Amino acid sequence: MSAAVKPILYSYYRSSCSYRVRIALNLKNIVYQIQSVDLLKGESSTDEYKKINPKGEIPVLLIDGKRLTQSLPIIEYLDETYKMPRLLPDNSYQRYQARMISEIIASGIQPMQNISVLKRVGEDKKVDWARHYIKTGLDAVEKALEESAEQFCVGNQLSIADCCLIPQLYHARRWKIDLTKYLLIPSIEERLNSIDAFKVAHPNQQPDCPEKEKA
């Protein structure tokens, strides 16, 4: 990657998918530029933005002369292209575990709390809907961690699973989910939140975060 060409991440400060990629970029020590896309104002649905991503979603990462979409494939691309630190374990079973935990979150929880989905669910049902899927999904994550976790989600190595867990816990708290019933999730979260790459990726550290939400 040319030092003169800084990667651009199209991001929304509260987006779980954007948050995952911000963490991965930070862990890889890749200096990048944020291009904010306000989902609440419908900026991802404009004709101009759909020239960047025809599906009208974030994140989009412009890097190495390429345009990348979908958070998990973006992270895997970064891991294959920028080797250290590795976010997918060398051991094949641990690599499976990291991907499996990531998919529970990225496919089984996060889509169900998406702005576009909740609009269709309706104002009167959206809270129960979101809480149900977050709770059942995190129950499954906790069960998976019983086998895989040590310091982090998979053993003692940071992985793609950790990049997915922290954004989901941010949203769990937004929906007032009680996380104290879990044994492993809070302890892993505490360790991850002490790492700079996770701290600076937090929504309240983003340029598009409203002043009233900044810590």
Delimit the domains of the chain by residue range.
8-85, 92-199
CATH numeric code, 92-199: 1.20.1050.10
Give me the mean pLDDT over the 76-89 stretch.
Answer: 96
- The sheet carrying 33-36 orders its strands as 33-36, 8-11, 60-63, 66-69
Q: Give pairs for 133-136: CB < 8 Å, separation 24+.
A: 133/108, 133/109, 134/109, 134/168, 134/171, 134/172, 134/175, 134/177, 135/177
Q: What is the pLDDT of residue 204?
A: 94
Higher pLDDT among residues 9 and 83, named by residue? 9
> Is pLDDT of 173 > 60?
yes
- What's the pTM? 0.93
pLDDT of residue 214: 78
Q: What CATH number should be reported for the domain whose range is 8-85?
A: 3.40.30.10
> Residue 60: enclosing H or E segment and its boundaries?
strand 60-63
- Average pLDDT (7-25) is 97
pLDDT band at 213 (very low <50, low <70, confident <90, very high): confident
Provide the angle, in degrees to the nearest 10, between the axes of the packed helices 160-174 and 16-27: 140
Q: Rounded distance, CA 24 to CA 98, Å?
A: 14
Instruction: Report whether 13 contacts 36 (CB < 8 A).
Output: yes
Q: At what angle do helices 160-174 and 184-192 cross, to 10 degrees?
A: 110
DSSP state of 155: B
Measured CA to CA, the distance from residue 61 to residue 34 in angstroms comes to: 10
pLDDT tens-digit readout, 92-135: 999 999 999 999 999 999 877 777 777 787 788 888 888 888 99
Among 123, 113, 121, which Cα is nearest to 169's? 113
**Helix then strand then coil, % of the chain, to nearest 5:** 55, 10, 40
Average pLDDT value for the chain: 93
Confidence tier at 2 by pLDDT (50, 70, 90) = very low
Task: Write out pLDDT tens, residues 29-73.
Answer: 999 999 999 988 989 989 999 999 999 999 999 999 999 999 999
In this prediction, residue 130 carries a pLDDT of 83
- The pLDDT-based confidence of 4 (bands split at 50, 70, 90) is low
* 117 or 147, higher pLDDT: 147
pLDDT (0 to 100) of residue 114: 74
Task: Give the chain's length.
Answer: 215
What is the average pLDDT across 133-156?
97
